[in-house]
Amino acid sequence: MTLSDVARLAGVSQSTASRVINGSAKRVDNRSRTLVLDAARELGYTPNLAAQAVARGASRTIALITSSVADAYFAAMTAAIMRAAEEVGLRVSLAVSDRRLDRELELVRELRGQQPRAIILAGTGYLDAPADRALETELARYQETGGRVVLISRSDMPFETVDFDNYDGAHRLAVELAGRGYRTPLVLGSAAPLRSMQERVDGFIAGFASAGVDIPAERVHHPEFSWQGAHSLLHGFDRDELAAADLVFAISDDVALGALASLRERGIAVPQELGVAGFDDITTLRDVVPKLTTVHVPLDEVAREAVHRATASPNELRRNVIPTRPMLRESTPQR
């Protein structure tokens, strides 16, 4: 079905049908609008999104590129952005990069041709990412044509950025845990050199240092950044190594849950023998026993700010850092 078919069935001109279907700012009387919409439904006509963008002067779609949707944190982030977009009458198209820089670049190139109103990139950048220069160039070209670029939780490129304080959240958590008597933590970082994950490791180590407790390098591990990575790592420790520790800090809740599962399978009681803490405060923690200590990331606030930046008039380049806060729960009692 074409727009001409819709106009013919409705008994109106093609320009009138186009104004109704593509949402032009030019007014169409209610009777003609009803005729066109009824005809479109009857014929099963689907509008051309690029044509809508031209007719309105701006698309009603925001493109979201996220690292993953299997991970509970990124799934929650995606849902929060969709809710925030719907509140202002926009829709979200979703693409997943699987933390591959080449895939991220490929997706941005494809999206430029689809003319979304904005592109939001949600996910941490890498500590050393030579491919980012190509991505930065591609995003700059997109902005030159009137699009907006917003980054979430990454500061490796010169675009509007909404971040949350990974370093400070981990630092504050460490100070709280040191105050509860913990002295020999194991730290589970990430084998992938992810910027925000390293900020969490650095903040945690600095927090314990400020309380007079040094964490030696041999207590900082970098498993695969996943539930399975933490699970496999702790299964590889001997009992003496685990007995010498009083706490496991994981850079994400998903990694912490992998650690919890491994400890449970090995018969090590949490929190009686070993405390466990994570980062993100994902909603699935409601079902975890014992209740997991973590750092709360206000994803709804992050999402609303990102969508606002994606739709507001261009202004000076800004980086807004949203505070995080530690949540002390049953998995880390007083020692």
Considering the entire predicted model, what is its pTM?
0.78
Question: What is the model's pLDDT at position 317?
Answer: 62
Q: Is the pLDDT of residue 27 over 80?
A: no
pLDDT at 153: 86
SS3 6: helix
Give dist(CA 233, CA 259) in Å, integer. Answer: 8
What does the block give as tokens for 154? Answer: 């990454």
For residue 176, the model assigns a pLDDT of: 98
Return the CATH superfamily for domain 166-298.
Response regulator (3.40.50.2300)
Q: Is the pLDDT of residue 328 over 90?
A: yes
pLDDT score of 58: 61
Q: What is the DSSP string of 20-87?
A: HHTT-SS---HHHHHHHHHHHHHHT----HHHHHHHHSS-SEEEEEES-SSSHHHHHHHHHHHHHHHH
Measured distance CA(46)–CA(222) in Å, rounded:
49
Residue 256 pLDDT > 90: yes
Residue type, 44: G
Q: What is the pLDDT of residue 50?
A: 54
The pLDDT-based confidence of 271 (bands split at 50, 70, 90) is very high
Give start and end residues of each alpha helix (H) in the chain: 3-10, 14-21, 30-43, 49-56, 72-87, 101-114, 132-144, 166-179, 195-210, 227-236, 239-243, 253-265, 299-311
Model pLDDT for residues 2-15, shown as the tens digit of each residue: 888 999 999 999 88
Backbone angles phi, psi at 205, to 5 degrees: -60, -40
Predicted local distance difference test score (pLDDT) of residue 128: 63
Neighbour count for residue 317 (Cβ, 10 Å): 9
Res. 265: pLDDT tops 70 = yes
- CATH for 59-164+299-322, options being 3.40.50.2300, 3.10.20.740, 3.20.20.150, 3.40.640.10: 3.40.50.2300
Confidence label for 273 from pLDDT (cuts 50, 70 and 90): very high
Residue range 14-27: average pLDDT? 77
pLDDT digits over 121-180, tens only? 987 776 665 546 888 888 988 888 888 999 998 877 888 899 899 999 999 999 999 999
**Angular region, 44: left φ>0, alpha ψ -120 to 50, beta rest:** left
| Average pLDDT over all residues of the chain | 89
Check whether 294 has a pLDDT greater than 80.
yes
Give the tens place of pLDDT for each residue, 231-248.
999 999 998 989 999 999
Same fold, 59-164+299-322 and 166-298: yes
Range of weakest confidence among 1-5, 179-183, 187-191, 224-228: 1-5
Domain spans of the chain, in order of start: 3-55, 59-164+299-322, 166-298
Residue 216, φ and ψ in degrees, nearest 5: -70, 155
**Alpha carbon distance 40, 68 (integer Å):** 36
d(C-alpha 144, C-alpha 122), whole Å: 21
Q: What is the pLDDT of residue 162?
A: 92
**Does residue 117 surpass a pLDDT of 60?**
yes
Residue 281 CB neighbour total at 10 angstroms: 23
Reported as a single tens digit per residue, the pLDDT across 60-111 is 899 999 988 888 888 999 999 999 999 988 999 999 988 787 888 899 988 8
Lowest-confidence segment of 183-192, 207-216, 297-306, 309-318 by average pLDDT = 309-318
- The CATH H-level (homologous superfamily) assignment of domain 3-55 is lambda repressor-like DNA-binding domains (1.10.260.40)
pLDDT recorded at residue 157:
83
Q: Which residues of 40-72 are buried (b: 16+ CB within 10 A; e: fewer)?
A: beeeebebebeebbebeebbbbbbbbbbbeebb
**Separation CA 119–CA 108 (nearest Å):** 8
Strands 160-164 and 185-188: unpaired
Q: What is the pLDDT of residue 73?
A: 87
